[in-house]
Structure 1
Amino acid sequence: MKKLLLTFAAALSIGTVTTAFANSDIQTDNKGKQLADNFQQLSRDTVWEPKENIELQFNSYHPQGMTKIGDLYYMSSVEVLEKPVKYDQPRDGYDRTPGKGIGHVFVFDKQGKLLKDIKLGEGNIYHPGGIAFDGKSIWVSVAEYRPNSKSIIYKINPETMEAKEMFRANDHIGGILSDGKKGNLKAVSWGSRTFYEFSQKGKIVSKSSNPSHFIDYQDCESAGNENMICSGVTELPQQGSSAGKYELGGLALLNMKTMNMVHELPITLFSSQGHNVTRNPVYLENSQHGMKLYGIPDDEHSTMYVYEAKLDKK
């Protein structure tokens, strides 16, 4: 009887995931264009109104990236079992030890209840980065927890929750998304200092340096019409203060074809633990009055902060 109940519960969870996928509000080109247009109305003066604080009902470890399909949320996270330690001098091209850990993609509902835990990675490759949904699949990069290392790129089917390895890359890929046109993949390295474009078989189509040093991009999503929106933070020293470093958060709209900056702005929203809301997982979507921002900046006992910016309708 106990086994039967467990099987039934699992079926309910998968059924919930499948139903949400079938009813998902996939970002079409028109909605993506609207998102990009709305984004360009944002500025430092934009008022972000708090809408919800949703406590996650599970240990989120160290969240990294997030996407949303229907009423379900998909969040990548790294469970660190042994922290990497910096070397006094680089060894074999690395600046630190590999550490140990487990990569996760958590699926949860709008109440913060965990529905599925998908484990990804192998060996020293256990650190997931930013993730994105292309209308059919969720793309996830999992890398070593150190720069200039190696990564595995996965594609997850949201209906079956199955992950498939697509290719491997000789760098730390910190975030990845499909361009939605040619089917190629845009990616950022550790700290987003390098932009990559890959074919879905892993061939490097292009590689360039990121000219912007405003923030390090962590999580990116398509915004239609060959645009992408990236979020992240940079840590700034606070001289004469014992409070440590200041997290400057921000959002950026990039042209996926040229990787040139279209529009960017700082975000000055902070969690109860003092982290900027764009520190790690971020998701943006159109709303009835403008745009909604979802952020999960804190580790382990996390809250998903939801804000809305009211914008002029064009």
Structure 2
Amino acid sequence: MDNQKLIAQFRKLTRSTKWELTDKIDLQFNNYHAQGIVRIGKHFYLSSVELIEVPVKYDEPSHGHDRTPGMGVGHLFVFDDQGELVHDTPLGEGNIYHPGGIDYDGNHIWVPVAEYRPNSQSIVYKVDPRTMKAEESFRVHDHIGGLVREGYNGKLIGNSWGSRKFYEWNPNGQLQLVKENSSHFIDYQDGHYVGEGKMIVSGISELSNPAGCNSQPYELGGLALIDMKTLDMIHEVPITEFSPQGHVITRNPVYLESAGQKLRLYAVPDDNDGSLLVYEASICE
């Protein structure tokens, strides 16, 4: 991938950018509630949570938590460009079953798996995409909902529940920095290292729907370019394209790449019987 070109194209995105749906690949398996995605060659790697028991909020906080842990199974799916399932690797243990946004550093896919509640705990796995063997790298005393691996020095940037807080770890998993997220535009769900010490993250913000109190929240989508040294936002844009199930397309798994004079976006925003949606935006030189 031409990272310099990708970054330059991303900086030209505006709220007026037109995104065109160019392909819709129906997944031939239950993708449950998908979280993060990367593309390696002709294969896509998709993290997802199979929810068996929904967490229930307590009337009063209990032992530092605001809800029950629920029950579920974490997955890292591999599928091809026809939507056929190639492999399924289970991830997590006990109450730790919720994978987040993922990244690929050229050798391993990095996957955080957390309890499905804030202020909890997580396991960071690295997965060899050739063997799909998952190896625990380190543990974190918080819910880590997304992870980006910098290719230059190997540091990792993770974000907490709702991405209100950033964490930085060295390659050995030792905590180096904790910083509040200065942007309140969206909650980051997925993210990837794009070179030059920068990452592109995606996500949503659920806003009150003016249609009435019984209406579903309005999902505002967005993309952001972030400096991984300062963890400050460099450029961000809203996304307002919606999926067949009515979700904004940056709801969880998103992967961006440069495609000639266009920026290509892959997304799996819908649950259970979802599709890989492919969008392109023309970028003027």
Alignment TM class, shorter chain as reference? over 0.9
| 1:270 counterpart = 2:242 | yes
Q: Which residue of 2 aligns with 1:190?
A: 161
Identity across matched positions, percent: 55
Q: Which residue of 1 aligns with 2:215?
A: 243
Q: How is 1:199-278 mapped onto 2 (pairs within 5 angstroms)?
A: 199-241=170-212, 242-278=214-250
| CA shift for structure 1 position 135 | 1.2
Deviations along 1:108-142, whole A, 9 cap, x unmatched? 00000000001000000000000011111100000
Deviations along 1:205-256, whole A, 9 cap, x unmatched? 0000001110000000011100100000010001343432100000000011
Give 2:13's match in structure 1, choosing from 42, 54, 71: 42
TM-score (norm 2): 0.98
Deviations along 1:244-278, whole A, 9 cap, x unmatched? 21000000000111111110000010011110000
Q: Which residue of 1 aligns with 2:26?
A: 55
| CA pair 44-155 structure 1, distance change in 2 beyond 3 A | same
2: distance between equivalents of 1:173 and 1:211?
A: 18
Q: Which residue of 2 aligns with 1:125?
A: 96
2: distance between equivalents of 1:167 and 1:201?
A: 8
Alignment RMSD (CA, Å): 0.9
Q: Which residue of 1 aligns with 2:268?
A: 296
2: distance between equivalents of 1:212 and 1:186?
A: 16
Higher helix share: 1
Give 1:171's match in structure 2, choosing from 142, 146, 155: 142
Q: Which residue of 2 aligns with 1:286?
A: 258
Residue 216 of structure 2 aligns to which amino acid in structure 1?
G
| 1:144 counterpart = 2:115 | yes
Q: Which residue of 2 aligns with 1:5?
A: none
Deviations along 1:56-75, whole A, 9 cap, x unmatched? 00000100000010111000
Q: Which residue of 2 aligns with 1:309?
A: 281
| 1:68 counterpart = 2:39 | yes
Conserved? CA contact 1:87–1:97, under 8 Å: yes
| CA shift for structure 1 position 182 | 1.5
2: distance between equivalents of 1:312 and 1:212?
A: 27
Residue 148 of structure 1 aligns to which amino acid in structure 2?
N
| Number of aligned positions between the proteins | 284
Larger Rg: 1
- Which stretches in structure 1 are left out of the alignment for 5+ residues? 1-26
1: distance between equivalents of 2:204 and 2:134?
A: 29
2: distance between equivalents of 1:240 and 1:222?
A: 38
